[in-house]
Structure 1
Amino acid sequence: MTLPDREVIATRAGVSLGRYRASDFAAVHEYATDPMVYRYAEWGPNSAEQTRQYLLEASLPNSQALTLAVLVDEQVIGGAAVWSTDADHRCGELGYSLNRKFWGRGYATLATKMLLDLGFSSLDLHRITATCAPENSASRRVLEKAGFAYEGHLREHKLVSDRRRDSLLFARLATD
């Protein structure tokens, strides 16, 4: 499926994952500068140059990763990615960020389910993990609704804004 000038990789229940375009800058930069969006992330706030760099890197061919726009009605509402972390063992990870105007509508869960499908099929992964901050209950619910199993609490796992942060670890297997 293609939207005008955009390659769509997957679609489910009105949500699509597609390749970024240069014209997506304003939509991406809007959520990448929102403190509510990046408060649990390792990145943010993005400068204009960081957003441009993100879009450039996302557009480059990569056999080990898919970095895609999350779309509703042809509008970019966020970003999502799945990537290989260990090709020999067929392990990977995924992540997502949505513009807060679109939170609470099930879009992140649908995008996560599509990322899982793409990770297991296109990237030939066997195990995909995801982490979230312990206080990020919305992200935890997304992962659980997408079929991830809770595997543990990682102490001081991430360095965010010069402070150590714990993470909750979730995983899903291709055989689940």
Structure 2
Amino acid sequence: MQQIWTGGDLTFSYCTVQDLPEISRMLAKESVCRWMFFGPNTAEVTRSYFLPLIEGMEAAFREGRTPDCHVFTARIRHSGEFVGQCALLPVDFSPGSYLIGYQLDDPHWRKGYGTLCCRFLVYFAFVVLDGHRLNGDTVADHAASRRVMEKCGFVPEGCQRGYWHARGGDHDRVLYGLLKSDLSTEDLSAIAGAFTAS
């Protein structure tokens, strides 16, 4: 199975053990974890979360099948500099439905990379995997994450009040969704044309 894609200024590759130090450094930052229900993490906590996902993906590749989870590292295409990571995680008992996630290291904020990562997940879910639904969520006060999803076509579907307890407070969780059927043929063609297998 293809393992590297390019789009805009970024490359997206399946996460490997070699990426874990950079992911760990990112997720150890208070700035990066401000709006998350987890973190800042120690390197051990980050490794214990990501390592089983990486091992599961690598096992699928060895066996010639599509992984269940799709975790990607995003890097600047020309320099290889680490930007962040993004993922599609399957929704239990709902084939073709995925939860999206993305985290960017703070030097790369406000450059459009969050939107590019989210668009890549839309591309991968609907074009590569032929899925039918994407689910997203964020803390209600995280305006930047909400804008990213809305730019990519996601629509708000509800709010769970006081859902996450983090940093000494309770935070509302806003739910977003995107169906493949929400996108026109032209939209899907444009998304498919924006990313290239390397």
Contact 2:24–2:46 (8 Å) recurs in 1: yes
More helix by share: 2
Contact 1:80–1:97 (8 Å) recurs in 2: yes
> After TM superposition, what 4+ stretches of structure 1 lie above 4 angstroms from structure 2?
none
> 1:13 aligns to what?
8
Partner amino acid, structure 2, of 1:41: M
Quote the Cα distance in structure 2 between the aligned partners of 1:67 and 1:136. Answer: 23
Deviations 1:105-141 (A, max 9, x none): 0011011111111122444421111111111111111
Asked if residue 167 in structure 1 is aligned to residue 173 in structure 2, the reply is yes
Partner amino acid, structure 1, of 2:72: L
Q: Extract unaligned runs of 5+ from structure 1.
A: none
Contact 1:21–1:55 (8 Å) recurs in 2: no
Higher relative contact order (CA 8 A, sep 6+): 2
Residues 123 and 21 of structure 1: is their aligned pair in 2 closer, same or farther, counting only changes over 3 Å?
Answer: same
> 1:27 aligns to what?
22
Question: Following TM superposition, by how much is the alpha carbon of 1:61 offset from its aligned partner in structure 2, in angstroms?
Answer: 2.9
Question: Following TM superposition, by how much is the alpha carbon of 1:163 offset from its aligned partner in structure 2, in angstroms?
Answer: 4.7
Quote the Cα distance in structure 1 between the aligned partners of 2:135 and 2:37. Answer: 16
Question: Following TM superposition, by how much is the alpha carbon of 1:87 offset from its aligned partner in structure 2, in angstroms?
Answer: 4.1
TM-score between both structures, scaled by the size of structure 1: 0.85
TM-score between both structures, scaled by the size of structure 2: 0.76
**Structure 1 residues 97-106 or 146-155, which shifts more?**
146-155
> 1:139 aligns to what?
145
Contact 1:129–1:171 (8 Å) recurs in 2: yes
Partner amino acid, structure 1, of 2:75: L
> 2:40 aligns to what?
45
Contact 2:135–2:178 (8 Å) recurs in 1: yes
Q: How does 1:14-93 map to 2 (within 5 A)?
A: 14-62=9-57, 63-72=67-76, 73-88=79-94, 90-93=96-99
Q: Give the alignment's Cα RMSD to 1 decimal.
A: 2.1
More strand by share: 1
Aligned residues: 170
Contact 2:25–2:43 (8 Å) recurs in 1: no
Quote the Cα distance in structure 2 between the aligned partners of 1:25 and 1:105. Answer: 23
> 2:103 aligns to what?
97
Question: Following TM superposition, by how much is the alpha carbon of 1:52 offset from its aligned partner in structure 2, in angstroms?
Answer: 2.3
Partner amino acid, structure 2, of 1:151: E
Question: Following TM superposition, by how much is the alpha carbon of 1:104 offset from its aligned partner in structure 2, in angstroms?
Answer: 0.3
Q: Extract unaligned runs of 5+ from structure 2.
A: 58-66, 183-198
Quote the Cα distance in structure 2 between the aligned partners of 1:122 and 1:86. Answer: 20
Question: Following TM superposition, by how much is the alpha carbon of 1:173 offset from its aligned partner in structure 2, in angstroms?
Answer: 0.7
